[in-house]
Amino acid sequence: MGVIESLALGFQVALSAQNLAYCFAGVALGTLIGVLPGIGPLSTIGLLFPITFYLPSIPALIMLAGIYYGAQYGGAITSILLNLPGETSSAVTCLDGYPMARGGRAGAALAISALASFLAGCLGTLLIALAGPPLGEWALAFGSAEYFSLMLMGLVGSAVLTQGDAVKGLAMVVVGLLIGLIGTDVNSGLPRYAFDVPELVDGVGFTVIAVGLFAVAEIATNLERREPQTAYTGALTSIMPNAAELARSFWPAMRGTGVGAFFGLLPGTGPALSSFAAYMLEKKIAREPARFGKGAIEGVAAPEAANNAAAQASFIPTLTLGIPGTAVMTLMLGAMVMQGVTPGPQVVTGNPELFWGIVASMWIGNLMLLVLNLPLVGVWVRLLRIPYRWLFPCVVMFCCIGNYAVNNNPVDVYLCAALGVFGYVLAKLECVLGPLMEEHLRRAMLLSRGDPTVFFTRPISLVFMVATVLVLLFTVKGLDLRVHRRG
Amino acid sequence: MHLHRDILAALLFIAIGAFALYGARGYPVGTAMQMGPGYFPVALGWLLILLGALVGVRAARARDWQPLAWDWRPLAWISVSILAFGFLMPRFGLVPALLAMFPLAAAAGRQSRWHEVVVLTLVMSGFAAAVFVYGLKLPYRLVAF
């Protein structure tokens, strides 16, 4: 089947009334949680996870995907208007987005960020359609050794490339691996670190970790800030950027898309890292780097294109290799398994309705997001006026119900509270690097169940292992590979 | 900079590593060729202790101590509210659990006002009952004694 026929099939699936409705629900919810600081796609997808059991597989996955890339659009709104990242992947957009808003160009910044995201979303979807199937065929040769070394490379690479401290990053990867060991050992059947608690024999669930370690800890951290944040909503008169702004944004958005697609494909890095990298690239190649940080439109276009491109591209390893590149993708993979779809290279050929339906829905979802974010941006802006003191108890409620819903077991809820305390301590010690660390953690958990014996005997695996060692050596030599968060 | 923090981080890593070794003491380790269920935990435990020591030594050598600001109050209230929900939910049903959870969670915020909390509690409990029990048909009782 050629790409054209396959896409036609995909659109046929994605354009059914039910799938359109779930796609819209996903992107709208994604934008909502993107706008709201303190709740991200990981916790949201984790919380919706048990509910999707009751849906058929295609609408369930279309909706979960929509939440993920929808959040990339929504995060920018908060960054630009509030100088507070709605999502970590939009943190860097604050640097130039907020100065633009203060300079009376809030509308233009919002429009450019939506347009750049849309451009990246379209190209990202195209990339999945073109690169997915051949990659899937190549991956048929992968054994567990290749999977392990690829994930190890991703883990080490992201620990080293992350803003912050590489040694602490590596230590946190190990902590993540250890949490992943809790539960029954698949090879021997021996329960490890279960301490005779029956609930721990099955391991710690996705949702409990995502919600406890990150959502709960984040609420506690947010509540420490003394000064109340107010949205800069004064001069939102015209949302259209002028011709000069459009022209200046085009190439940064294209480059941002390239950077984002690269980091999205690479397991271990995700939207957050890609947006930092895209911003740094623009600053480096700009004729007047001094403009950055003072409201340069390029500083909005590039990272916003990058985070959406990365969000789309991260579906490629997930759908074609069965390797989750990011923490959210691990949940997507879990959702596929729950739905009876075996993730891996055979998805593209064996389940074309699913693969092409999701690809087509992503393009449709991006179109919906453009509408949600351009003419309807006022709705989201109004949301930012809801005081945090009303919002955070509601988030706690969703955390409680979501965790309880997984197994209808209060132990999951207690565990979530305990992990919240742990997450707060880690955040205080700057050991948690936002969602990047979530990604280490989840993939690490998967990795620890792998079979670590044969990585050096198989050629593809060997390449990944050598790359990992090289990355580590560069770190030890003090080569500054790290992307710093705030200029 | 941030050294006080890194010393604590180092201690935390070493403690977790030691705990991992302690927990793994009964697991058969095996050999590199024939790994037992204890092999990976023991290796990770030692690796974490090593990395923790590295963080600690580096921090101790630079001796520029800065105190950390801890604020346990919000975290404590949030945790209590979550525990209360987990305790009440299976015993008394969804609505009583939420009626307890909301005021406890709201106590974490400095700017919470009691009359707003009352409204929020009632509105959101009704919302949760409508969405989760009637809408999504999750098998929970609203009130059970």
Per-residue model confidence (pLDDT) at position A435: 45
The Cα A15–Cα A21 span in angstroms is 9
- When CB atoms are compared, the residue of A165, A219, A400 closest to B101 is A400
B80 shares a domain with B49: no
H helices, E strands: number in chain A: 23, 2
Residue B83 lies in a domain: yes
A226/chain B closest Cα distance in angstroms = 9
CB A360 within 8 A of CB A13: yes
CB A173 within 8 A of CB A159: yes
Per-residue model confidence (pLDDT) at position B81: 94
What interface predicted TM-score (ipTM) does this complex get?
0.87
The Cα B19–Cα B25 span in angstroms is 10
- Per CB-CB distance under 8 Å, the chain B contacts of A171 are 9, 13, 48, 51-52, 55
Are A178 and B44 inside 8 Å of each other by CB? yes
Residue B95 lies in a domain: yes
Q: B22, B61, B78: which to substitute to probe chain A, counting the most A Cβ within 10 Å?
A: B78
Residue of B nearest to A169 (CA): B51
Q: What residues form DSSP beta bridges with A171?
A: none
Per-residue model confidence (pLDDT) at position B77: 92
B84 shares a domain with B47: no
Are B16 and A424 inside 8 Å of each other by CB? no
- Per CB-CB distance under 8 Å, the chain B contacts of A39 are none
Q: B11, B44, B50, B115: which to substitute to probe chain A, counting the most A Cβ within 10 Å?
A: B44
Are A397 and B20 inside 8 Å of each other by CB? no
Are B23 and A193 inside 8 Å of each other by CB? yes
Residue of A nearest to B50 (CA): A171
B62/chain A closest Cα distance in angstroms = 15
* CB-side neighbour CA atoms (13 Å) of A342: 4
Residue B52 lies in a domain: yes
Are A216 and B82 inside 8 Å of each other by CB? yes
Are B36 and A188 inside 8 Å of each other by CB? yes
Residue of A nearest to B122 (CA): A394
Tokens standing for residue A312? 């789309």
B144/chain A closest Cα distance in angstroms = 15
- When CB atoms are compared, the residue of A223, A397, A410 closest to B108 is A223
Per-residue model confidence (pLDDT) at position A239: 67
A213/chain B closest Cα distance in angstroms = 12
Q: What is the pTM of this model?
A: 0.72
CB A123 within 8 A of CB A256: no
- When CB atoms are compared, the residue of A170, A181, A397 closest to B98 is A397
Per-residue model confidence (pLDDT) at position A480: 43
Residue B34 lies in a domain: yes
Question: Domain ends where: B22, B37, B61?
Answer: B61
The Cα A403–Cα B141 span in angstroms is 17
> What residue ranges of chain B have pLDDT lower than 70?
1-3, 31-35, 63-67, 136, 145
B53 shares a domain with B81: no
- Per CB-CB distance under 8 Å, the chain A contacts of B42 are none
Residue B142 lies in a domain: no
Are A448 and B98 inside 8 Å of each other by CB? no
Residue B66 lies in a domain: no
- Per CB-CB distance under 8 Å, the chain B contacts of A400 are 81-82, 85-86, 89, 97, 101
B77 shares a domain with B41: no
Residue of B nearest to A405 (CA): B138
B76 shares a domain with B39: no
Give the C-alpha distances (Å, rounded to integers) separating B49 from A5, A424, B43, B117.
Answer: 55, 21, 10, 46
B126 shares a domain with B77: yes
The Cα A289–Cα A238 span in angstroms is 27
Question: Domain ends where: B14, B33, B61?
Answer: B61
Number of compact structural domains in chain B: 2
B5/chain A closest Cα distance in angstroms = 5
B114 shares a domain with B82: yes
Residue A101 DSSP label: I
CB B101 within 8 A of CB B81: yes
Residue of A nearest to B23 (CA): A193
B76 shares a domain with B123: yes
Q: B4, B61, B75, B95: which to substitute to probe chain A, counting the most A Cβ within 10 Å?
A: B75
Crossing angle for the helix pair B94-106 and B114-128, nearest 10 degrees?
Answer: 150
> What residue ranges of chain A have pLDDT lower than 70?
1, 38-39, 142-145, 147-148, 151, 154-155, 157-165, 185-188, 206-207, 225-239, 267-269, 324-325, 430-458, 474-487
A426/chain B closest Cα distance in angstroms = 8
Q: A29, A165, A168, A412: which to substitute to probe chain B, counting the most B Cβ within 10 Å?
A: A168
Residue B129 lies in a domain: yes
Are B40 and A394 inside 8 Å of each other by CB? no
Tokens 């080569």, located at residue: A479
Are B9 and A431 inside 8 Å of each other by CB? yes
Residue B93 lies in a domain: yes
Q: What is the pLDDT of residues A153-184, one digit of tens each?
A: 766 766 666 555 677 777 877 887 787 778 77
Q: How many CB pairs under 8 A join A and B?
A: 180
B145/chain A closest Cα distance in angstroms = 17
Domain span including residue B103 = 72-135
- When CB atoms are compared, the residue of B20, B45, B48 closest to A171 is B48
CB A384 within 8 A of CB A80: no
CB A101 within 8 A of CB A112: no
B104 shares a domain with B56: no
Are B111 and A416 inside 8 Å of each other by CB? no
Residue of A nearest to B57 (CA): A167
B81 shares a domain with B57: no
B107 shares a domain with B54: no
B76 shares a domain with B56: no
